[in-house]
Amino acid sequence: MSSLKFFPLGNADTCLITLRDDRRMLVDFADMRDPEDDEDRRCDLPALIREEMAESKQRGFAVAAFTHLDNDHCKGSPDLLWLDHASCYQGDGRFKVETLWVPASAITEEGLDDDARIIRQEARHRLREGSGIIVFSRPERLQDWMRDQGLAISDREHCFIDAGNLAPGFDLTQDGVEFFVHSPHAYRTDDRALEDRNGDSLVFQARFTEGGQLCDVLFSADVTHEVLAEIVDLTRKNKNDDRLHWNAYKLPHHCSYTALGPEKGESLTEPVEQVDWLCRTMGEKQGFVISSSLPIPMTGTPEDEDKQPPHRQAANYYRNKIVASRNFLVTMEHPNKAAPRAIVLEVTADGLIHKALGVAGPASIVSGVAPRAG
Amino acid sequence: MVNDRWLVDRASSEIGPEDIRNPLLRALARQASRADYTGADVLGARCSEDRETEALLLEVRVELGQAERRNDIQLVEPVAIVSATGSVAPQVYPLRADFPQNVPHLNANLPGLPKSLCLYLATPEDLARTIAPPRLLERVRWWMRETAYGRLHGQDQQLDPIFVGAAQAVVVSPDFFNVEGVFYVGSLYSSRPDSPIELQQLLPEEDPRKEGGTGRFVVVKLTTEALPHGQMLNLPRNVCELLSSYAELGVELSNSLRAELRMWPSKEHLKAMLDQPAIICISTPLLRENGSVEGATERAYIAAEATTGALGEALGAFAVANGYAGQLLGQDAPAIDQEALERIALLPLDIRYSFDRSLASQSSGWEERDRDKITLIGAGALGSQIALACARGGFGKWSVIDHDHLLPHNLARHALLRPHMGWPKAETLAAEIMRLLPDEAAEPIVANVLREEEQEKVRDAIHASDLVIDATASVAAARWLSRLDRPNTRALSVFLNPRGSDLVVLREAQNHAVLLDHLEMSYYWNLLHTDELKDHLSTKDVVFNGSCRTPSVQIPQSKIGVLANIAAQHIFENSHHDDAEISLWRLNPDLQIATHSFPAEAYVERELGGWSISVRNGLLDDIGAARRAAGEFETGGIVIGAWDRQNKKIYLVGASDPPPDSRQEKTGFVRGSVGLYREIEDTEARSALNLTYVGEWHTHPTGVTSRPSTDDNILLRWIADSLEYNDAPAIMVIAGEDGVRVRMLADVNLSEFVHCC
């Protein structure tokens, strides 16, 4: 059975996906906790991941996807992962990554520091080697960089996947999951001088199946309403509407109002038309909205005045208009603000379910007391 | 919701969850309060004045997905977990006012009282031993989720556990609600007050009071109009509530009840029963969403404290005056005495259907196979137990053939018991099967198949059967059966070895390509080659009871029971398979069961000089292979087989390798003798004398036919001489370019055939 685990990391993202065959996949990894701070309620991400990998006897990740290289999406990842490009990132206790997923900007971007730079170097290394990487872009986008490296596009086409396609390496029937790529899309990446990192981040729909039931999870990185509107327009134009369907929607940018519309609003952010359609029409009423963020601020609190997300007005839109407020899940509020724990969504024949915490194993529940026959 | 009337009635005071005394409820409250447990939250707690009843109110979280829900279960459901002194396990009651009442696995309750969740198959007593707070909570959440998606199967709605122990069962025939114009009376099976109630049909004009008639019940049965699937009735406390609870579902019950009751005083022989109480049985056909009728819900109630006369009068069915009941004339609308109806208390009865083939199959998990006609020959310990085990699973229509009577020593391990003592086993076993499956499931034939004058009456039964099971433990009977012309009936032999440790099943091929006697020979042959089974037919350490011609071995029923039931299951599972089989099960001293299965080879059959010769295909293959291997030399050895002098049959089963001192030349073969005596001795011991030396085999070199040489003729004469005192023909097998030649010398008559390979 596949499942998705969203960790409480403040305004930062990490989702650990368990595939049907027990392989693991990371969507972002951001170890944000300050070990010196006893009051820090963010989880000890490397410890939790290591524990789970040991428990499930997994030695690496099928995929590590970095939606973009902001700190809150990749911090600490070079300490966890085995990186091929330099021996100092290799050795015991590191997890190998079969395939790295990055947007094109992660290859070309200059001026990166620290962990983002290390992941960029790994991505570049893998692209140079021509294996273990999928760059979310048209290959032409990297024409100049490739030429500088002495690489021919025709030799590296297998390392690219363009928007509007299924990511290679997964088959819905066989693996129980497939990934439809929404962004970066050509509309944004053709012949542009400026790079908008959030705009060039990975947006994809993960489609799972279990017992004949499809469960769609929309991952939207940190994109803005403008990017979302473009995605909706393009997808609808290509009649791929169902690729925007979701049973769970991992909100962009930690529940920022900018993912809904241009104005924050007083008590509720008004979404632009395309985003409203995406939420109302494409979302399951009994589905889940996940905000990978700090707790939603109360009205009038200093946090409420803060420009940074999460924005109460955006949260109000999702929990008042889109899903039941119980199904609006905030990573740093789950199950309570005092001791947040990871949110687990399980893919079942009933759809995506939100697992309760601290429950007994399934065997003791279903079997009950086995009566003796006699 | 937490102020539900019934809840306040049962537990009037609010208390803190920490004040709960019941250990399970207290632990549940602690579990649900934990910050790291999100399956439930505590809403509150209540108790009765005397603290006998305590209730923990929880809000359980149900893990629901986006798939369409079949029932209205919500993400969060309030429940009351109620524990009462004297009740073994707590009951869980949903509290939401509009919680669906028409779902499976809710326990029925009285009007105004809630229906509890039916959470476990196990009895409360068994549950109490293992139930732990986390498990109970998870089970509730599981119940809710499975109910949301319509996965809790079955329509059974048991009575709320408060009734368990109080509810009596009434046993009705499967067609009870479908038969019209028949009157029934009920009576207790035993003298215990909570005894189940047996229904009996009253034949026309039969006096129901002929044996005193007290302690019997008037049975009134009704079939209402069909109702949509899943509507659930409250349990009525009295006749008035019965009428109104059906009225709530749109069913007018009083008219049909009245019409049924009127029948009783109108018949002279039934009238006298009006001073007895009534049992009311009601069947309601269920409508599916598409409008088709599927199944029915059936309920029964007993008005134990009132007479049927009082019930009829209260319903306005008739009037009773001076002990006589009469029809009411001149009244358009009969007067219903509501107060009287309220005084007639009702108790629910469990309806149980009497045992028949369908229930037998269902209970056993076997598909219903009433068309398989089976003849059983031999109703001894093994045969009787196999037949009864099959019949209990609803399998087979049986002809039981046996000539014996049940004698004292049989009681140690026969399916029949002391009441059948001295009766023919066939008759009593058939009678038991018929009692078990009341559809003419068996017929007895008291006959001995080995007596010619009695064979006529068993032939028809065998011809009309799909399968004949030989459980006689008699090789003679099995051989007779094997030879019997029965084009549409396949035969199967089942027997135990002398020590009773091994079960053997020999089953013919559907097309009769391999017959029972062939299987028997191959079974012996395989015993010779399976070291674990070298003592299979040994009688060492076997203790016999009884006299010389009626031996009876010391084997406990526990062993026969195990093996007989393996046989029954195997016959059920495999009787439709086309191929033949030889299977053996061994119950080892450590009670492990080992299985063996051997190839059921075909035989070549020829008539020769008044004898019928059967040659195992494998023997022909072996000799052919030896010839090819020998090339330009000759080779040979002895032939292992059997004579059936009575039936004039010869079986050629195996060929031994040439003894080491044999001379293999281009122009001849001289068979040596080293080790041969031992081999024959071993063959006879392992096969219990069923296989022995029957002749010689040799090959002719490449390019030479099987035509016998002068030496061969001399050899055949030598074989005949050495078998002189065996009263059996001599056999010589020669393999050559043209095939395998079988020559037989009986007295002075020589005959032969060549089987082209």
What is the distance between the alpha carbons of residues B306 and B301, in angstroms, rounded to a whole number?
A: 12
What is the distance between the alpha carbons of residues A262 and A284, in angstroms, rounded to a whole number?
A: 25
Task: Say if residue A192's pLDDT is above 60.
Answer: no
Rounded to the nearest angstrom, the minimum Cα separation between A356 and chain B is 5
Rounded to the nearest angstrom, the minimum Cα separation between A367 and chain B is 9
**Chain mean pLDDT for chain A:** 92
Chain A within 8 Å of B343 (Cβ-Cβ)? no
Q: What is the pLDDT of residue A368?
A: 46
Cβ within 8 Å, pair A339-B131: no
Does pTM surpass 0.80?
no
**DSSP states along A91-122:** STT-BEEEEEEEETHHHH--S--HHHHHHHHH
Cβ within 8 Å, pair A286-B34: no
- Which residues pair with residue B388 across a beta bridge? none
**DSSP states along B727-741:** TS-EEEEEEETTEEE
Q: What is the pLDDT of residue B546?
A: 56
Q: What is the pLDDT of residue B478?
A: 95
| Residue pointed to by tokens 């526990």 | B558
Q: What is the pLDDT of residue B10?
A: 87
Q: Looking at beta carbons, which residues of chain A come within 8 Å of B135? A: 360, 364-365, 368
Q: Which of A2-11, B202-211, B257-266, B323-332 is the least confident region?
A: B323-332
Single-letter residue type at B196? P
What is the distance between the alpha carbons of residues B131 and B89, in angstroms, rounded to a whole number?
A: 8
- Could you tell me which residue, B263 or B463, shows the higher pLDDT? B463
Closest CB from B35, B76, B121 relative to A368: B121
Give B315-346 pLDDT, tens digit per residue.
998 887 766 667 666 555 567 899 999 999 99
Closest CB from A339, A352, A366 relative to B142: A366
Cβ within 8 Å, pair A359-B134: yes
Task: Say if residue B84's pLDDT is above 90.
Answer: no
Task: Say if residue A369's pLDDT is above 50.
Answer: no
Q: Which of B182-186, B228-232, B667-671, B719-723 is the least confident region?
A: B228-232
Cβ within 8 Å, pair B64-A368: no
> Best of B41, B64, B66, B147 to disrupt the A interface by mutation (most A CBs within 10 Å)?
B66
The top-scoring range by mean pLDDT among B69-78, B125-134, B292-301 is B69-78
Mean pLDDT of B487-499: 94
**Half-sphere exposure for B474 (CA within 13 Å, toward CB):** 16
Q: What is the pLDDT of residue A23?
A: 97
Rounded to the nearest angstrom, the minimum Cα separation between A308 and chain B is 29
Q: Looking at beta carbons, which residues of chain B come within 8 Å of A358? A: 34, 36-39
Chain B within 8 Å of A71 (Cβ-Cβ)? no
Q: What is the pLDDT of residue B158?
A: 55
Give A288-341 pLDDT, tens digit per residue.
999 999 999 999 899 999 999 999 999 999 999 999 999 999 999 999 999 999
Cβ within 8 Å, pair B65-A364: no
Rounded to the nearest angstrom, the minimum Cα separation between A350 and chain B is 5
Chain A within 8 Å of B633 (Cβ-Cβ)? no
Helix (H, G, I), strand (E, B) or coil at B419: helix
Cβ within 8 Å, pair A364-B35: no
pLDDT level of residue A366 (50, 70, 90 thresholds): very low
CB–CB of B443/B431 below 8 Å?
no
End-to-end CA distance of chain B: 89
**Chain mean pLDDT for chain B:** 88
Task: Say if residue B623's pLDDT is above 80.
Answer: yes
B196 burial level (CB within 10 Å; 0-12, 13-18, 19+): middle
Give B627-652 pLDDT, tens digit per residue.
999 999 999 999 999 999 888 999 99
Residues 72-131 of chain B whose Cβ lies under 8 A from any Cβ of chain A: 75-76, 119-123, 126-127, 129-131
Give B89-121 pLDDT, tens digit per residue.
888 999 998 998 878 788 877 777 788 898 887
Chain B within 8 Å of A363 (Cβ-Cβ)? no
Q: What is the pLDDT of residue B104?
A: 78
Rounded to the nearest angstrom, the minimum Cα separation between A297 and chain B is 21
Give A84-124 pLDDT, tens digit per residue.
999 999 999 999 999 999 999 899 988 888 999 999 999 99
Q: What is the pLDDT of residue B246?
A: 86
Kindly state the tokens that stand for B290.
């598409």
Mean pLDDT of A54-74: 95
Q: Looking at beta carbons, which residues of chain A come within 8 Å of B145? A: 350
Of all residues in chain B, what percent carry a pLDDT higher than 90? 61
Cβ within 8 Å, pair A371-B122: yes
Cβ within 8 Å, pair B134-A354: no
Task: Say if residue B157's pLDDT is above 80.
Answer: no
Q: What is the pLDDT of residue B105?
A: 83
Kindly state the tokens that stand for B642.
């059997």
| Nearest chain B alpha carbon to A358 | B37
Task: Say if residue B470's pLDDT is above 80.
Answer: yes
Mean pLDDT of B55-80: 95
Angle subtended by helix axes B308-315 and B239-248, to nearest 10: 50
| Nearest chain A alpha carbon to B31 | A358
Q: Looking at beta carbons, which residues of chain A come within 8 Å of B119? A: 368
Chain B within 8 Å of A150 (Cβ-Cβ)? no
| Nearest chain A alpha carbon to B135 | A365
What is the distance between the alpha carbons of residues B184 and B35, in angstroms, rounded to a whole number?
A: 62
Q: What is the pLDDT of residue B332?
A: 56
What is the distance between the alpha carbons of residues A105 and A199, in angstroms, rounded to a whole number?
A: 10
The residues near B558 (Cβ < 8 Å, ≥ 6 apart) are none
Give B413-466 pLDDT, tens digit per residue.
999 999 999 999 999 999 999 999 988 899 999 999 999 999 988 999 999 999
Q: Looking at beta carbons, which residues of chain B come within 8 Å of A327? A: 75
Q: What is the pLDDT of residue A364?
A: 47
Q: What is the pLDDT of residue B200?
A: 87
Rounded to the nearest angstrom, the minimum Cα separation between B572 and chain A is 21
Closest CB from B65, B126, B135 relative to A365: B135
Task: Say if residue B125's pLDDT is above 90.
Answer: no
> Best of A246, A329, A350 to disrupt the B interface by mutation (most B CBs within 10 Å)?
A350
- Could you tell me which residue, A193 or A130, shows the higher pLDDT? A130
What is the distance between the alpha carbons of residues B404 and B3, in angstroms, rounded to a whole number?
A: 74
